[in-house]
Amino acid sequence: MRLESLPLTADHDIPAPVLTELTALYASNREFHALSGDFPDPDDIRPEQVAAALADELANPEVEVLLARSEGRVVGVVITLAHHPDPSDPDPWIGLLMVDAAAHRKGVGTRVAGLVEERFRAGGRTAVRLAVLDNNPKGLAFWTALGFEVIGHRADLQLGRPCAVLRKVLGGARQE
């Protein structure tokens, strides 16, 4: 498995074949989208909605959208934030890690999270944070099983939804 940056066309669009794969991945996670409310109808996620959501993310130069590929196909997507808007927060963030539902409970999410952590370590980062919606106990269980610890609670910055904030120290990180 490997992580790669989301490819964009010269016009900053997502290439059609990649957008088709991403739309299928997003649509496969109906349960998550029903919890998050990120899409108007979690049973009808459309390519233009996925493209718009990712364009909104990529409008921030601190954001990176990564594709997890296995055997040539997209099996996951990760959105990272190099620096949180709060200047007192020194850590990078994982804004989203989503795996194709057909690969749930097969270790894919764990491998993808590990690759993201390694990217941060290689960049000299010493910890990483993320937020889990309070109404997502499966997400909380996943992240805490990977060694993340709840360090607080607050509303998310986009929609004001209640979240647990988690942090993980990245052992073996290089110091700058």
| Total domain count, the chain | 1
pTM: 0.92
pLDDT tens readout for residues 17-74: 999 999 999 999 999 999 898 898 999 999 999 999 999 999 999 999 999 999 999 9
Torsions phi, psi for 75 (to 5 deg): -115, -5
Residue 88's domain comprises: 2-124
Residue 63's H or E segment, with its range, is strand 63-70
Helix, strand, or coil (residue 77) = strand
Query: Looking at residue 12, what DSSP letter applies?
Result: S
Asked, for residue 169, whether it belongs to a domain, the answer is no
Using alpha carbons only, how large is the chain's radius of gyration in Å? 16
Asked, for residue 141, whether it belongs to a domain, the answer is no
Domain at 40, CATH number: 3.40.630.30
Evaluate whether 126 touches 154 at the Cβ level (below 8 Å). Answer: no
Asked, for residue 60, whether it belongs to a domain, the answer is yes
Terminal Cα-to-Cα distance of the chain (whole angstroms): 28
Asked, for residue 151, whether it belongs to a domain, the answer is no
Asked, for residue 108, whether it belongs to a domain, the answer is yes
* Nearest by Cα to 48 from 69, 20, 28, 75: 20
pLDDT tens readout for residues 94-112: 999 999 999 888 999 999 9
